[in-house]
Structure 1
Amino acid sequence: MVSRQNIIRVADFIDSTTRSWRTELILNTFSKDDAQKILQIPLTHIPHDGFLV
């Protein structure tokens, strides 16, 4: 389990094994409305290196 103090990147909300959102963590971190919007964002199933935008 990730402590809220350790969450510093979007990747912390993604299960690296299944490449899916960590739904329970998102629901426990954000408001219901924000969590629903976040969970609607599709994730790629193809791993790639991180980069700064």
Structure 2
Amino acid sequence: AFDLKQLNIYLDNLEGMALGSKLPDGSQTLLLVSDNNFTKRQITQFLLFKLQQS
């Protein structure tokens, strides 16, 4: 398990999650997406993570 708060990144309105492309070393990526809901108070984000293999 991983706590996203450890990233020290402002996370806002995360709405989507998908497995991304595999990296050259074979590791899987995970993409998280948020949108701003057409308001200036929120932000759009694309966050890409490398998943650790167990």
- TMscore range, shorter length: under 0.3
Higher RCO (CA-CA < 8 Å; seq separation 6+)? 2
Counting helix residues as a fraction of each chain, which structure ranks higher?
1
